[in-house]
Structure 1
Amino acid sequence: MSSDQVHAGNLTVTLREAVREAADPAKERLVADGVPAKLAARDSSLWGPEAAEEAAIRLNWIDLPRSSRALLPELERVATQKRAAGLDRVVLAGMGGSSLAPEVIAASRGAELTTLDTTDPHQVRRAISDRLERTVLVVSSKSGGTVETDSHRRAFEQAFRDAGIDPAERIVVVTDPGSPLAELAEERGYTTFLADPNVGGRYSALTAFGLVPSALAGVDVESLLKEAGALTDALSADSGNAALELGAALGGFTGHDKVVLAGDTPAGLGDWIEQLVAESTGKSGTGLLPVVVEGVDAPGFVPGPDSHLVAFSESGAPEAELADTLVTGPLGAQFLAWEYATAVAGRLLGIDPFNQPNVQESKDNTKALLERSGDGPLPTGTPLLVEDAVEVHLADAAGPSLFTDAKDLAEVLQRLVRAVPEAGYLAVMAYLDRDEEGDGAAARLRMALAELTPRPVTFGWGPRFLHSTGQYHKGGPSNGVFLQITGEVTDDLDVPGRPYSFGRLQTAQALGDFGALSERERPALRLHLRDRAAGLAQLRQALERVQP
């Protein structure tokens, strides 16, 4: 690629000429306004007066390579103690910023970590039944009241007690000071790590939220802090600041608001970047839509005129050669650089990169559905049509002109892909079992649909995506078309101490978000699989009959 490189410490950002032409004027504006020095000094005024109050309590991530070192002695002590007790399986109960970073850290370092960021009862039940006698559960929630994480904790506590195990010997809590979870952990004697409250969840990779589960899983987390620390000195500089270059490219490449993420080094980094960028920028009708792809040689990959291909593979990989922007460096540096760049892009876009005004909406809808329905059935609605194992449900805003007279599933899907506007995207949201259905038909849906439309296709596991791209879906530009997939529960699991099961909670979350999309008149379709395996196979067959 014809390009320019900027090195900072152990990180390199390479920009193709077209990106450089757009990024340079943006960087000049940032430098003229003193942004690098101000951001390094945690100046909360950088995003305007309306964002200043939130920014004032969200900027300590800049200093984490140094400040998080205070965690290391106690973290090493606890990790050694657990391993000495034969507890070598770590399960992380967390959502969004509390789960994505540790998952990436473990994957990139070759450590085993079971991430539980779902309400699918089949997946939760399997996590509980696997090697419970050797399991440490990390309960990770910044607010201390995340419904999914609270439900996981309750289920594991019950399982430990049923097995004659004291939960206090197995549960490690990560939360903010003063949260309800911190109070409960103190009452029950759970080992607790308190995170810096002045760091937002999606910027928390190098806080206790990222480090505690990773260290318990056997990762040398000190090395992560060293990798990030090598970048720190450059962050206040006007030149030779690779993170500033990346931010200028993301926020200044006008008209390229789909950020296509490709690469496998470090492993899984795209999913973490997706949450950071989507939740930080997708608001006030604007934003950058991350699109994580399996690779530039995967079926259905077609870079669009509004797409910015960002790769994080090493030089020489196919995606690196095609990338508009290439970011190379170790994981710790990548974390810090992307956080810095996202904050910088937020300034260029004119938004507050630290709030998430639309995330709470789906949570409130879920709570209201559970409370209104009591012990009765949830309002799943009457399907438009039923074809063997698949029910087709419409959001109110879908309108009669889109789907109501469709004769079969293939025609529904045909109309779905053709409904994506020229500057829009298609989002697939699967409330299924990520382990059982993840490596099979459900995860391949993104590629199959991408082959049928020139527009970007995203894929998210529910309810995990609600803490990520869910903000963009509702707060970003109104140009998305949405396909939600739910599945029949065959082996439900009660949430101890709550009047609902995991299956009921999962359904309420899907319906709650479906309602939020409908209220915003986003075209949305829900496919309910009466039999998951048969329904996915049927969906795949129907897609084969759809014309591009």
Structure 2
Amino acid sequence: MSFDIRVSGHVKAVVDETLTGLVADLVASGVTAQDPTLWGPDAEAEASRRLGWVQAVSVSRPLLPEITALREQLVARGVTRVVLAGMGGSSLAPEVMARTAGVPLTVLDATAPGQVLAALDGDDEGGLAQTVLVVSSKSGTTLETDSARRAFEAAFGDLGIDPAERIVVVTDPGSPLEESARAAGYRVFTADPTVGGRYSALTAFGLVPAGLAGVDLDELLDEADATLLEVAIDSPENPALVLAAAIAGGAPRRDKLALVADGTHIDSLPDWIEQLLAESTGKAGTGILPVVLLPVSPELEARPADLQVLRLVDEADEFHLFDRHEGEILVSGSLGAQFVVWEYATAIAGRILGVNPFDQPDVEAAKSATRALLEHRPEPQPPAFAIEGVEVRVSDPELAASGTIAGVLDALWSRLGPDGYVAIQAYVDRLNLAELAGLRELVAADSGRPATFGWGPRFLHSTGQFHKGGPATGVFLQITERTDVDVGIPGRPFTFGELVAAQAAGDASVLAAHGRPVVTLTLTDPQPEVLSLFEAAQ
């Protein structure tokens, strides 16, 4: 088998109980047949135009010669550095492909000015003169992607390079981006419009940037193809049915899913799973919250009752691990197989939960708030207090009553219920402040509850849906920065610095309006000792 899943203990009992109904209702074959009625009448209209991903392997095959030919043309001209401007499903899948294959791909899914400058300036793989930009947006109106395109167009022009020779566009047919790109003479790849962004790994959105970077796409699609029959059969052995039952079944259900890369050869897969699962299921007050962990994370030492652990392993390790991890889910498989099985399992999990896995009703709220802040530019909210190079802002004045960072964090953790979680959202230059990711471990240990970590605004296109539409059990810790570095956006009345600030403030306002507690810590020291600050606050 190209994909294998093992369950034991309580989760095996959940799977055995849940599989009976899924098999009897012919759910697997129904997904393969693109039956839009599987998710109920309220979801039928959306599902009827969002199931094209089940045919992605066959639909995408004809793209491969075109991608290979374009890569060869670029390499022949000395263009060997690939930058991808895309958000959510348009960037996470090709990032996994490239990292797993060990080929360089620069992903620009950020609006922090420092990251934009780094993408424009180049790196060890070559500078702007050796760069091709892939602009990837399903809607063709994604603000972050449009801003990156404008910056690169200007930068290419400053070097005397025709942008039409260096910009490749991936979008849906008929989108505003397709129209403008063709008018500008850019190379355009259109994807199947019946595939939603987070299910688009094996479409042009995943394959074009990965293929231009040097990923073996034939092998990837062969891996996916080898799994299609397994996931289409209405059988208790169907790995997609087993996975869906394991993560979405049971009563009471464990609604936090720990994703632990424990020896797998696939790099960064939990980040892709996180956006697929959170955005698909986090709505109508329910959902599955993916929590990306290390093998030594605090949650694995003192396990919350609502946390289900899933380990991504290599097949050679699986039997060795199976005896040691009772009650866990062990998953192994090729990358192409993982994409197929997780997409099927997520759609089926939506049916189990009673939600539409193809819409994202709460994502637009943060975008609207950002646009409003950019249009009207209100005066910045004054901090509740400032201390040690950090400004503290809170959604509720009581959170800041202590006047200390330690007190603020304790007050935020006190809002956590027995089924709560902490979401850390870092709207910073992650190339300069990469160590911030370590906050997740500290916060999980200090709060005693599962903690997630997301780089902003990237997470807005994934877990952002769960934050507003899922269970109202989260508390939110934003990290922003004040920096003198900024980059203008050609043709726009705002800069990247103003954009990222508006995105953070807009999301905080929407979370607060949903009754979610929010603490925002703004780093004003150009070289903050962030982890030391939090360690001291514990």
TM-score, structure 1 normalization: 0.94
Code of the residue aligned with 1:104 in structure 2: it is V
Post-superposition CA distance 1:408-454 (Å, at most 9, x none):
1121122222332110000000000121212x2x1111011111122
Shift of 1:544: 2.5
Does the alignment pair 1:195 with 2:172?
Answer: no
Q: How does 1:265-414 map to 2 (within 5 A)?
A: 265-293=265-293, 295-298=294-297, 301=300, 302-315=302-315, 316=317, 321-322=324-325, 324-373=328-377, 378-395=378-395, 398-400=396-398, 403-414=399-410
Distance 2:135 2:462 in 1: 19
Alignment of 1:142-181 (within 5 A): 142-181=138-177
State yes or no: 1:89 paired with 2:89. Answer: no
Shift of 1:111: 0.6
2:3 equivalent among 4, 11, 29 = 11
Alignment of 1:466-505 (within 5 A): 466-505=460-499
Alignment RMSD, CA only? 1.4
1:513 maps to 507
Give the Cα–Cα distance (whole angstroms) in 1 for the partners of residues 307 and 484 of structure 2. 41
Gaps of 5+ in 2: none
Q: Which runs of 5+ in 1 are unaligned?
A: 1-8
Give the corresponding residue for 1:543: 534
Q: Is the 8 A contact 1:514 1:524 kept in 2?
A: yes
- Paired amino acid for 2:363: V
C-alpha distance in 1, partners of 2:461/2:55?
25
Which residue of the other structure, out of 109, 129, 136, is the alignment partner of 1:117? 109
Q: TM-score, normalised by structure 2?
A: 0.95
* Whole-angstrom CA distance in 1 between matches of 2:500 and 2:392: 18
2:137 is the counterpart of 1:141? yes
C-alpha distance in 2 between matches for 1:173 and 1:532: 36
Amino acid at match of 1:544: E
Q: Distance in 2 between matches of 1:540 and 1:412?
A: 16
Q: Which moved more, 1:31-40 or 1:356-365?
A: 31-40
Instruction: Give me the whole-angstrom Cα distance separating, in 2, the residues matched to 1:545 and 1:502.
Output: 32
Q: What is the CA distance between 1:299 and its match in structure 2? A: 5.1
CA distance in 2, matches of 1:218, 1:355: 32
State the match for 2:60 in structure 1.
68
Q: Tell me how far 1:20 sits from its aligned partner.
A: 1.2
Q: 1:443 to 1:354 in 2, by over 3 A?
A: same
Q: Does 1:457 align with 2:454?
A: no
Counterpart of 2:70, as a letter, is: V
1:261 to 250, 259, 262: 259
CA displacement, residues 487-509 of structure 1 (integer Å, 9 cap, x when unaligned): 01211000000000000000000
Following superposition, the deviation at residue 545 of structure 1 comes to 3.8
Alignment deviations for residues 6-50 of structure 1 (CA, whole Å, 9 cap, x no partner): xxx311011112111011221111111111111110100000011
Please state how far the C-alpha of 1:139 moved relative to its aligned partner: 0.2
Question: 1:528 pairs with 518, 522, 528, which one?
Answer: 522
For 2:171 and 2:482, the matched residues in 1 are separated by 33
Q: Is the 8 A contact 2:247 2:349 kept in 1?
A: yes
Encode CA deviations 1:178-208: one digit per residue, 9 max, x unaligned.
0011001110110110000000000000000
Code of the aligned partner of 1:242: P
Moved over 4 A (4+): 317-321
3-state SS of paired residue (1:483): strand
What's the offset of the Cα at 1:339? 0.4
CA contact (8 A) 1:168 1:191 kept: yes
Matched, 1:31 2:29: no
1:462 partner letter: G
Distance 1:532 1:305 in 2: 41
CA contact (8 A) 1:380 1:511 kept: no
2:61 partner SS: helix
Amino acid at match of 1:427: A
* Distance (whole Å) between structure 2 residues aligned to residue 124 and residue 26 of structure 1: 47
Q: Mean alpha-carbon deviation: is it higher for 229-238 or for 106-115?
A: 229-238
- Kindly provide the CA deviation profile for residues 52-91 of structure 1, in whole angstroms up to 9, marking residues without a partner as x: 1110111011111221101111111111111111111000
1:247·1:342 contact (CA, 8 Å) conserved in 2? Answer: yes
**Separation in structure 1 between the aligned mates of residue 361 and residue 303 of structure 2, nearest angstrom:** 30
For the residues of structure 1 that align with 2:379 and 2:421, how far apart are their CA atoms?
A: 28
Structure 1 counterpart SS, 2:446: coil
Report the Cα distance in structure 2 between the residues aligned to 1:430 and 1:213, rounded to whole angstroms.
26
Q: Does the aligned pair in 1 maintain the 2:477–2:518 contact within 8 Å?
A: yes
Work out the CA distance in 2 between the residues paired with 1:55 and 1:223: 30
Task: Give the secondary structure class of the aligned counterpart of 1:451.
Answer: helix
Contact 1:276 1:342 in 2 (8 A): yes
In the comparison of the two structures, how many residue pairs are matched?
A: 525
* Equivalent in 439, 444, 449 of residue 438 of structure 2: 444
Preserved CA contact (<8 Å) 2:438 2:531: no
CA displacement at 1:319 relative to structure 2: 7.4
The SS at the match of 1:533 is: coil
C-alpha spacing 1:73/1:445, structure 2 compared with 1 (3 Å): same
Q: Structure 1 counterpart of 2:277, which letter?
A: V
Q: 1:212 aligns with which of 202, 208, 212?
A: 208
CA distance in 2, matches of 1:545, 1:81: 54
Deviation at 1:399, TM superposition (A): 4.8
Query: Counterpart of 1:3?
Result: none
- Matched residues, percent identical? 50
Q: Distance in 1 between matches of 2:15 and 2:291?
A: 21
3-state SS of paired residue (2:83)? strand
> 1:532 Cα shift?
4.4
Q: For the residues of structure 2 that align with 1:250 and 1:100, how far apart are their CA atoms?
A: 21
What is the SS of the residue equivalent to 1:503? helix
CA contact (8 A) 1:137 1:170 kept: yes
Q: Which secondary structure state, in structure 1, belongs to the residue aligned with residue 447 of structure 2?
A: coil
- Distance in 1 separating the partners of 2:105 and 2:159: 22
Quick check: 1:106 aligned with 2:132? no
Q: Any conservation in 1 of the 2:400–2:407 contact (CA below 8 Å)?
A: no
Q: CA deviation at 1:540?
A: 2.8
Task: State how far apart, in whole Å, the 2-side matches of 1:345 and 1:289 are.
Answer: 12
Contact 2:91/2:109, CA 8 A, preserved across alignment: yes
Contact kept in structure 2, 1:431 and 1:485, CA below 8 Å: yes
Distance 1:221 1:531 in 2: 45
In 2, Cα distance between the equivalents of 1:409 and 1:297? 27
Shift of the 463–516 alpha-carbon distance from structure 1 to 2, 3 Å rule, reads same
